[in-house]
A and B are shown apart, each in its own frame.
Chain A
Amino acid sequence: MTERPLITDAPNTWCPGCGNFALEYAFRDVFQELQKEGISLEKFVLVTGIGCHAKIADYLDVNSFYAIHGRAIPVATGIKIARPDLHVICCVGDGDAYAEGLDHLIFGAKRNIDITVVVHNNRVYGLTTGQYTPTSPLGFKGRSTPAGTLEYPLNPLELMLTSGATYIGRGYTKNLKLLRPLLKDAILHKGFSFLDVLQICATYYDVHSMYDSLVYEVKEQPGESYEEVIKRLREWDYNNKAPIGLGTYYRKEAPTFNDRITVMKVSDREREEIIRRVLEEHL
């Protein structure tokens, strides 16, 4: 086993103070840790959308599919169905996953496809320079909404629970100590793992002092009823000034999409034989 630095020489263009650095280094540490535990590096595939978050595909020296805005999850789903042995991780943005590609997020959870979705949730469109996203608070003054937004944010954790995700957690880029084990846990969970990571956007939505004053670590509550989980997930609705829980909220073992697929290999000769047989049925 060789120690690879895991960071490419691609010039990094995130702003100073950007929360994405924390995610990048947390991923690197987790990949190295998992490698020590026996998962070889080529088993990881990073699939990204488009946005500041997505540059992580260039920066981390592992397999990647730098896809298009909102569509990381279907790409990852294809990879995972084809290759159940791979660990497929989506790094997506909040605009990416909650606006442009929301349908895929819901369906990924619904299928319980065994991938990990990590939302770099800075609650703003970073790359397109500061418009509101589905998790920006009511009244958010972005460049497309100078007078403030007219709509409430959605609560992605609640949405994921009702959609069928089997692992739900929240992280924060200023709490690396918690972020690493969260990422590792989510990657190792068998089934659809969802992590909403509150990510500081130093340029367009720097609310770290607010987060710092509200975050606390949640304790996992095995055996909780659906209603009880929902209640905890609703404590902070991305709009109110309430305590913000960090950690694993929900975990469930359930058959994954791949578990329900069985496909056998068929040789070229057998294929031709089958074609002949089908044609005989069509006489």
Chain B
Amino acid sequence: MNDFSVLIGGKAGEGLNKAGQILAHLMGRLGYRVYMYYDYPSLIRGGHNFSVIRGSEQKIAGHRAGMDIVLALNQDTVDFHRDKILPGGLLIYDAYYAKGEGMAIPLKQIIEQNKAPSITANSGIIGAFCKAVGIEWGILEEVLHRDIPPKVLEINLAVARGGFDAAQEHQKLHDLGRSALPFITGNEAIGLGLIQGGLTTWVAYPMTPSSSLLHFLAEMSDKVGLKVIHPENEIAVMNMALGFAAAGERVGVGTSGGGFCLMSEGLSLAGMSETPIVIMMGQRTGPSTGLPTYTGQTEYHFLRHAGQGEFSRFIVAPGDANEAFYWSTVALNLAWKFQIPAFILTDKTLSEGGYSFTIDEIRKVPVEDSPRWDGTLPYRRYAFTESGVSPLTEYGREKAVVKVNGYYHDPRGITTEDPGIVAPMQEKLLRKLQGLDQELVSYDTVNQSGSSGAVVALVCWGSNKGVCQEVAEHLGLRMVQPVVLWPFPVDSLRRALEGTSRVILVENNATGQLAAMMRQYGFAVHEQIHKYDGRPFTVEELENRVKGVLP
């Protein structure tokens, strides 16, 4: 099977994310399905950045440890990644800034000859890469035309050509003869899924790994009639979003753990006041500021319990870009249908990773809304109903007095401490979860792949989907991935695990949050594999770890 990995590394500020995208687009042109992992420290200049771009015949959502080609713009890249080069692989490096064994390219000279800025070294080494793997100049030219802004296109083309001419062919990257798929990040998929679901407003305060979603939606705002607001802090974000929702907007917010801490009082207000809201929560590593630009899966329990009091909520953790798109649309629908907070739980790996995206494989979801007030007076914002969901109307409707309230309230929305109303109101808040649970029966809340008959199951959630799926396929295991994490999909998970005798949990945390939840619901968990150093599993690493716990 054709499976090809290239790593490009250099100093922060050298445009390695962009370079990774160009490499991904090149592989896409040859018909590869692509995944990109981008690794960068939390700083603007200096430090070591790298992107791993992997192309495969099949759709993938994870990277490998072994590299066919390493493109080194500096010595760190050579030193840190030399050992990853596979037999028959190649190191291509900048002849001036690095030393190594492989193909030296005189990038400094090429850049000087063209009087180009040093950032064009990327284009130069990508030119050399194309020559080394037999990608025609015309393909590179076309990709650069699309990816490089017109102002600096000529100079980049010149440096790329210099690199191309300075290199020799090393191995041929087969052209799979298929057309390219769109290549987007998890956050872009979420943004597009939300737009598909009728999002009208996005409110957020910058925090990795949610910022790129804020940026993407801000860029899109003019085109799709979206209001994008960046307020003074996350407390304002959450409360402002609730104001938007009460005024009839379909609104979402985005943040990471620290920002979500500040939102949790507002979240509880959303729960009590039954104000719909979508929250994109991108996890990173560890407590407090932890590792700001690395990955983790530590907020499942936090989201499940955040906010004082007991109220209904929805949590979904997509595993790749396709799932991110689909479930973002669904999250909006469910938030409004049930007037609850709906979480899209991601992590740095998914949010900032790049994926080949196949929109035509995604089940179409029509926009769904709350039941609407029929005009019967007086309007009762919190009318008791069988489902617990009260007909909604927004401020400004003629004759309606809309009273939204964060205290316990009577059906009109007026504060009450009457035990005869408080208890049924509490039950109303929770009854909605039963309806939601019922609703979810028609969704694939738990994914299954690998060998369906296998008695050993790898169970994971979120961005570990890709690596787990591959490892399960290699080792002949079953792969089970709950996508909906709350309400906990007990029945679907039971079906997915039917006939297994050994259950291995894979999580990017130190305690096993899905494992704990499963045990709480009576599922057996036999082994737990954890990784909590901020880095996602590579396929090889996970495979070794799984082999280590297999009998």
Q: How far is the CB of B181 from chain A (nearest CB, A)?
A: 8
Q: Assuming the A-B contacts A83-B247, A263-B226, are A66 and B404 also in contact, with contact meaning beta carbons closer than 8 angstroms in the complex?
A: yes
The answer to whether A81 touches B229 (Cβ under 8 A) is yes
Q: Assuming the A-B contacts A64-B413, A79-B247, A274-B224, are A86 and B182 also in contact, with contact meaning beta carbons closer than 8 angstroms in the complex?
A: no
Does A178 sit at the interface, judged by CB under 8 A?
Answer: no
Q: How far is the CB of B513 from chain A (nearest CB, A)?
A: 28
Interface-centre pick from B28, B221, B402, B414 (highest chain A CB count, 10 A): B414
Q: Assuming the A-B contacts A268-B367, A283-B28, are A275 and B195 also in contact, with contact meaning beta carbons closer than 8 angstroms in the complex?
A: yes
Q: CB-nearest residue of chain B relative to A83?
A: B247
Residues on A with C-beta less than 8 A from B229 are: 81
Does A177 sit at the interface, judged by CB under 8 A?
Answer: no
Which stretch of A37-45, A149-157, A199-207 is in the interface?
Answer: A37-45
Q: How far is the CB of A96 from chain B (nearest CB, A)?
A: 13
Does A185 sit at the interface, judged by CB under 8 A?
Answer: no
A77 CA to B269 CA in the complex, in Å? 16
A8 CA to B400 CA in the complex, in Å? 14
Contact of B236 among A47, A103, A270 (CB under 8 A): A103
Which stretch of A54-62, A211-219, A225-233 is in the interface?
Answer: A54-62
The answer to whether B247 touches A78 (Cβ under 8 A) is yes
The answer to whether B415 touches A58 (Cβ under 8 A) is yes
Does A264 sit at the interface, judged by CB under 8 A?
Answer: yes
The answer to whether B225 touches A265 (Cβ under 8 A) is yes
The answer to whether A271 touches B243 (Cβ under 8 A) is no
The answer to whether B192 touches A278 (Cβ under 8 A) is yes
Which stretch of B8-16, B156-164, B340-348, B390-398 is in the interface?
Answer: B390-398
Residues on A with C-beta less than 8 A from B245 are: 78
Does B399 sit at the interface, judged by CB under 8 A?
Answer: yes
Q: What bracket does the count of chain B residues touching chain A fall in? A: 35 or more
Residues on A with C-beta less than 8 A from B405 are: 57, 64-66
Does B232 sit at the interface, judged by CB under 8 A?
Answer: yes
Does B96 sit at the interface, judged by CB under 8 A?
Answer: no
Q: Which B residues from 516 to 535 make CB contacts under 8 A with A?
A: none
Residues on B with C-beta less than 8 A from A78 are: 203, 239-247, 249, 251
Does B65 sit at the interface, judged by CB under 8 A?
Answer: no
Does A279 sit at the interface, judged by CB under 8 A?
Answer: yes
Q: CB-nearest residue of chain B relative to A264?
A: B225
Q: How far is the CB of B531 from chain A (nearest CB, A)?
A: 30
The answer to whether A42 touches B395 (Cβ under 8 A) is yes
A278 CA to B217 CA in the complex, in Å? 12
The answer to whether B406 touches A66 (Cβ under 8 A) is yes
Contact of A64 among B239, B400, B404 (CB under 8 A): B404
Residues on A with C-beta less than 8 A from B221 are: 263
Q: Which B residues from 179 to 225 make CB contacts under 8 A with A?
A: 180-184, 188, 192, 195-196, 198, 201, 203, 220-221, 223-225
Residues on B with C-beta less than 8 A from A75 are: 239-240, 242-243, 246
Q: How far is the CB of B339 from chain A (nearest CB, A)?
A: 15
Q: Which B residues from 344 to 369 make CB contacts under 8 A with A?
A: 357, 359, 367
The answer to whether A83 touches B236 (Cβ under 8 A) is no
Q: Assuming the A-B contacts A78-B247, A82-B243, are A280 and B182 also in contact, with contact meaning beta carbons closer than 8 angstroms in the complex?
A: yes
Q: How far is the CB of A186 from chain B (nearest CB, A)?
A: 20
Does A261 sit at the interface, judged by CB under 8 A?
Answer: yes
A65 CA to B403 CA in the complex, in Å? 6
A82 CA to B244 CA in the complex, in Å? 6
The answer to whether B406 touches A68 (Cβ under 8 A) is yes
A64 CA to B404 CA in the complex, in Å? 6
The answer to whether B266 touches A68 (Cβ under 8 A) is yes
A199 CA to B398 CA in the complex, in Å? 33
Q: How far is the CB of B103 from chain A (nearest CB, A)?
A: 29
Closest 4 A/B residue pairs (Cβ): A78-B243, A82-B247, A74-B239, A266-B225
Q: Give 28 CB contacts A-B under 8 Å.
A: A8-B414, A40-B398, A42-B396, A57-B403, A63-B396, A64-B403, A64-B413, A65-B243, A65-B405, A66-B404, A66-B406, A66-B409, A68-B239, A68-B269, A78-B243, A78-B244, A78-B249, A82-B201, A85-B396, A86-B247, A86-B395, A103-B232, A263-B225, A265-B225, A268-B198, A274-B223, A282-B183, A282-B357
